[in-house]
Amino acid sequence: MAKKHVKYYVVDAFTDSAFKGNPAAVCLLEEDKDDEWLQSVAAEFNISETCYLTSIHGTSIPRFGLRWFTPVVEVNLCGHATLAAAHTLFSSGLVDKNVIEFVTLSGVLTVRKIPSMDVTGVPNLLNSEAAAGFYIEMDFPAYPVAEFNSDDTSLISEATNGASIIDIKKTGEDLLVVVASGKNVTEIQPQLDAIAKLPGRGLIVTGIAPPESGFDFYSRFFAPKFGINEVSG
């Protein structure tokens, strides 16, 4: 019997330009695949996340199983790959409703397709090009922020190459390091060997963005233990 081809897309999330943002591979599965196959395909793509969609039938709201893999391990939750999966389903016509539910290791995640708006906040239905555009709203679990109870921060200082650290917290499986400014965030030279020795999954570095940037804060995320030196985007 001939093997079935697996249809896939590579989606650049968080951008409106090709080859920018944060890429994710979205694979549409018509049959179950074993974990070894899923991990091997993710390693072959060799981008921060590869996700797999399987349709779940018999529900009033379109529902899909969704799993995420880095090049080396499966993860419990991934934002940009979920966004990429939703975009693929809405844009390809595979889903004709404005709501999708994803069944994941982190529970059921709901995404909604929101029509693009003009400057008055009214759905832009007159401009045919704009009418084809849409936003995606995602309902995700919020990780609580907790104190980082350790007197020894030398490894974190080494991991951030001596950056000026204001605060250290724990959030979910990651460490959250607040530095003096957004400029410090962009200038950090991460020491990946030291980051790999830190507790938890990865390291988030954040700081207040300069007023002229138009953003509230800058952030970078490093997870070398999961095969992701730095998440782009």
Q: Catalytic residue positions?
A: 49
Q: How far apart are CA 77 and CA 70, in angstroms?
A: 11
Alpha-carbon Rg for the chain, nearest whole angstrom, is 20
Q: What is the DSSP string of 130-189?
A: HHT-EEEEEE-PPPPEEE---S--HHHHHHTTT--EEEEEEETTEEEEEES-HHHHHH--
Question: What angle is formed at CA 48 by the lines to CA 217 and CA 180, rounded to 5 degrees?
Answer: 25
Q: Alpha carbon of 168 to those of 15, 164, 171, 178, 183: distances in Å?
A: 30, 11, 10, 6, 18
Query: What residue type is assigned to position 95 of the chain?
Result: V
Please give the DSSP secondary-structure letter assigned to residue 98.
S
Q: How far apart are CA 76 and CA 181, in angstroms?
A: 30
Please give the DSSP secondary-structure letter assigned to residue 23.
E
Closest CA to 202 of 24, 12, 75: 75
